[in-house]
Amino acid sequence: MKTIALYSIKGGVGKTAAAVNLSYLASKGDARQTLICDLDPQGASSFYFRISPRDKYNSTKFLEGSAKIYKNIKATDFEGLDLLPSDFSYRNLDLELLEEKKPQKKLRKNINELSSEYRYIFFDCPPNLTLFSESIFAAADIILVPVIPTTLSIRTYEQLRKFFNDTGLDSSKIRGFFNMVEKRKSMHREIIEQRGSQPDFLKSSVPYNSEVEKMGIYRAPLNAVHPSSAAAKAFRQLWEEIQVDLLP
């Protein structure tokens, strides 16, 4: 089992679109059971898959793990891809984690119990840097950070790396990739040229594409509905690179 977090401190960088599209691609092929955990109380990836949590599901159940998590996993409309939907109560996860003995290790422990069922587990993470984020860092084997090639986006990416280094976390888990790239903008081109060649960045990037925004209408991964769109192709290329470089 490999766990892959789509994470950024900054909002609006395309974490959910990447989590939805990459998890869909991961579930293709031979018996590749994949789970996407919607950890963001906004529940955007749950929305994309048209899935709501059960009435009784909440952050407390999520932290109880094991059977409570299993009971709330739902199949998407795509074979091999399941989803653990988010609930609005996830906004309280930080407070609830404070009561745990080892809050940083909580998510890893709960997720390990799913290891026999899934080959890949994706986390669609909320945009902040909290105790829950630290629990995600401990649980993830790879932390994929979508970065828009802009000054602010690069800045938050560097803040994350610094946080890892300052707190003794393993920063080699972090991999950035450029998202919502508009080649016609000189700033985008320059930033990609300067930063993109560094080893902590993936070579593949995803262009800005209106089809990604329309996922809210399609409510399905792009590769399932518009595989020939530029963004769908880019996600395929990105997944290929992740598989080759990060998932031996």
Partner 1 sequence: MTVERKSICFRPPEGFETESLFEDNGLSVKPGKTQKRRVRRIFYDTFEWQLLANNAAAIQENRLLSLYNLDTGLPFASVGHSATARFFHPFELKDEKFRSEIERYTELRALIKRCTVEVDIVSQQLLDEEEKTIAILNRETYFLFKEKKSRILITENLAITPLKGFQEETETFASGTGKLLGREHRTRYRDLFMQFMDAAGVPVNDYSSKIRITLQPGDPVQKSAASLLLGTLDIMKRNEPWIPENIDTEFLHDYRVAVRRTRSVLGTIRDIFDSGTTARYRNAFRNAGKACNALRDCDVYLLRESDYRAMLPESLAPHIAAFFKELHELHRIELRRFSSFLRSKAYRAMLDEWNGLLGETERNPVPVATQDTEDRSTLAVAKKNIRKAWKKVLRHGRAIPAQASDAELHSLRIDCKKLRYLLELFASLFPDKTMATVVRQLKELQENLGMFVDLAVQQQYLAGHIEQMKEKPSDPELAAALGGLITTLHCRQQKNRKLFHRTFRHFDNDETETLFNALLNS
Quick check: 152 binds partner 1 (CB under 8 A)?
no
The distance of closest approach from Cβ of residue 118 to partner 1 in the complex, given in angstroms and rounded to an integer, is: 12
Helix (H, G, I), strand (E, B) or coil at 74: strand
φ, ψ for residue 4 (rounded to 5)? -130, 120
Task: Please give, one letter per residue, the 3-state secondary structure of 75-98.
Answer: ECCCCCEEEECCCHHHHHHHHHHH
The distance of closest approach from Cβ of residue 191 to partner 1 in the complex, given in angstroms and rounded to an integer, is: 39
- Binders of partner 1 among residues 48 to 107 (CB under 8 A) are 49-52, 54, 66-67, 70-75, 77, 82
The distance of closest approach from Cβ of residue 109 to partner 1 in the complex, given in angstroms and rounded to an integer, is: 14
Q: How far apart are CA 192 and CA 67, in angstroms?
A: 44
| Closer CB to partner 1, 38 or 94, in the complex | 38
The distance of closest approach from Cβ of residue 184 to partner 1 in the complex, given in angstroms and rounded to an integer, is: 37
Contact 214, 227 (CB under 8 A): no
| Closer CB to partner 1, 75 or 187, in the complex | 75
Q: How far apart are CA 100 and CA 38, in angstroms?
A: 21
Which DSSP state fits 145? Answer: E
Q: Which positions lie near partner 1, rule CB under 8 A?
A: 30-31, 49-52, 54, 66-67, 70-75, 77, 82, 113, 117, 219
